[in-house]
């Protein structure tokens, strides 16, 4: 049986021909039958976000597919299937010889970084009787030209492994894989090390970053779950949603500098839920950060009406947004820039046909979002007024919906269903311009062939597949 990792995305693309992708973590719709052609690999004029889980099957006959071999020689391939937002775009990682179904479900591959045309993939090959456990890293390049997949070479010291914090920085036609590491030395002073792989030179290098503003408050237990490209080809940011943003400037240069930006304090209701501890449980379910046009933007949602002792659970939520300049002199300063309340949302005309009884009160003719569980607010990278949320009837349901909410006019703009098999997913939010680099001659040829095949199916009385875009 063939095995595939499916990584889901919701995509926001800019107007015109510039097509861009954000990567978030939400769950996937059912796959096509094993070895069936993928329904639509071509980027639509839409918008993005992502999620990951493992499935059986294969995405073949796809112009986005790139192939390589693992460090143990296993053939592996990566493909994408795009969808109109807020539906989920899928990324398939296929390795039939190296990973069984059980191995996929226990340690699913993951996207740890994405920027421009580049995607960084982490694939674990668990221990077997005939092999030791191996973690391989791959760089997927979507273009220009034919997509490629490259196995990341090992660091010079075999005992040094690439960490889960590794991310990718696009530098035009090549990229840097950046793995930050902080160490306390014998003099109790912290040094911030950067392990950098260049896809141009095919070599690893090491740098020590200068400690900049705010680093005196750095918590060595910093646990980032999102990576942002702040300045193309120059600056990156790692986000620990509970505490702060780690900003790394001049990455390709000789004198990189790292600084710390403190996030706004938790909402009182969320701080109570975490026991008031600065190192409490994960808050990714209620917070998000993005970066655009020289500004960081932040959102946090809370559930002020939720009473576990009340039989009629009110799951209504409130969300507050803040912003700050990336280069602000004030380490703490965030400006409030809006609020949105689930009770005040109205359905836009575009989503009326998608409303269902669990979220719409027909008697009152209004939304009833207090009946569903909403989580993982995800700020749209290219539109200041849009936030995505994952919504379910129950928190452990395998199925649910993605809501696109306009925070400026308090409208529920769009609804898209999803289905997932694994409910233990931990979303990791990334951002990239992947799809615009996929608009190459190979995709144009793919579009031409599919249209021809669909026309033949229609003339022959078979089921035709409509390809958008």
| pLDDT, tens digit (0-9, with 9 covering 90-100), for 353-372 | 788 888 888 877 888 888 89
Say how far residue 102 (Cα) sits from the centre of its chain: 24
| pLDDT, tens digit (0-9, with 9 covering 90-100), for 85-125 | 677 777 788 887 877 777 776 777 888 888 888 989 988 88
More confident residue, 468 or 368: 368
- pLDDT greater than 90 at residue 239: yes
Question: What is the distance between the alpha carbons of residues 177 and 195, in angstroms, rounded to a whole number?
Answer: 8
- pTM metric for this prediction: 0.80
DSSP per residue over 269-300, as a string? HHHHHTTT-TT-S--TTTEEEEEETTEEEEEE
Domain ranges of the chain: 3-438
Q: How many CB atoms lie within 10 A of CB 379?
A: 24
> Closest Cα partner for 55 from 92, 81, 10, 21?
92
Whole-number pLDDT of residue 443: 53
Q: How many C-alpha atoms does 159 have within 13 Å on its Cβ side?
A: 0
CB neighbours of 253 closer than 8 A, spacing ≥ 6? 234
């Amino acid at each position: 049986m063939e095995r595939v990792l499916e990584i889901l995305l919701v995509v926001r693309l800019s107007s015109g021909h510039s097509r861009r992708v954000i990567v978030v973590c939400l769950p996937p719709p059912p796959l096509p039958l094993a070895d069936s052609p993928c329904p639509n690999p071509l980027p639509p004029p839409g918008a993005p976000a992502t999620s990951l889980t493992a499935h059986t099957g294969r995405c073949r006959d796809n112009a986005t597919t790139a192939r390589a071999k693992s460090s143990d020689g296993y053939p592996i391939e990566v493909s994408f299937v795009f969808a109109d937002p807020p539906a989920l775009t899928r990324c398939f990682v296929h390795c039939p010889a190296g990973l069984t179904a059980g191995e996929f479900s226990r340690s699913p591959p993951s996207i740890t970084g994405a920027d421009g045309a580049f995607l960084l993939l982490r694939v674990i090959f668990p221990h077997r009787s005939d092999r030791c456990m191996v973690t391989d890293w791959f760089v997927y390049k979507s273009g220009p030209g034919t997509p490629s997949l490259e196995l990341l070479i090992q660091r010079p010291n075999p005992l040094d492994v690439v960490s889960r914090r590794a991310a990718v920085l696009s530098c035009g036609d090549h990229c840097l894989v950046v793995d930050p590491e902080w160490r306390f030395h014998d003099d109790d002073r912290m040094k911030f090390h950067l392990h950098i792989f260049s896809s141009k030179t095919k070599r690893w290098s090491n740098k020590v970053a200068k400690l900049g503003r705010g680093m005196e408050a750095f918590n060595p237990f910093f646990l980032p779950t999102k990576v942002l490209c702040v300045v193309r080809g120059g600056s990156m940011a790692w986000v620990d949603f509970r505490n702060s943003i780690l900003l790394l400037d001049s990455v390709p240069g000789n004198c990189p500098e790292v600084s710390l930006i403190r996030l706004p304090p938790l909402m009182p209701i969320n701080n109570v839920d975490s026991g008031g501890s600065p190192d409490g449980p994960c808050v990714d379910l209620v917070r998000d950060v993005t970066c655009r046009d020289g500004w960081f933007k932040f959102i946090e949602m809370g559930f002020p009406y939720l009473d576990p002792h009340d039989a009629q659970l009110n799951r209504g939520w409130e969300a507050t947004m803040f912003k700050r300049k990336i280069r602000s002199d004030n380490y703490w300063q965030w400006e409030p820039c809006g609020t949105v309340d689930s009770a005040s949302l109205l359905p836009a005309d575009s989503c009326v046909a998608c409303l269902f009884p669990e979220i719409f009160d027909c008697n009152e003719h209004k939304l009833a979002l207090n009946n569903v569980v909403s989580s993982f607010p995800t700020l749209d990278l290219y539109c200041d007024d849009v936030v995505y949320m994952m919504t379910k009837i129950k928190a452990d349901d395998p199925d649910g919906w993605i809501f696109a909410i306009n925070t400026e006019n308090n409208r529920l703009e769009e609804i898209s269903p999803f289905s997932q098999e694994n409910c233990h997913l931990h979303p990791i939010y990334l951002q990239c311009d992947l799809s615009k680099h996929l608009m190459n001659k190979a995709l144009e040829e793919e579009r031409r062939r599919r249209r021809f095949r669909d026309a033949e199916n229609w003339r022959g009385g078979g089921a035709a597949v409509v390809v958008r875009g």
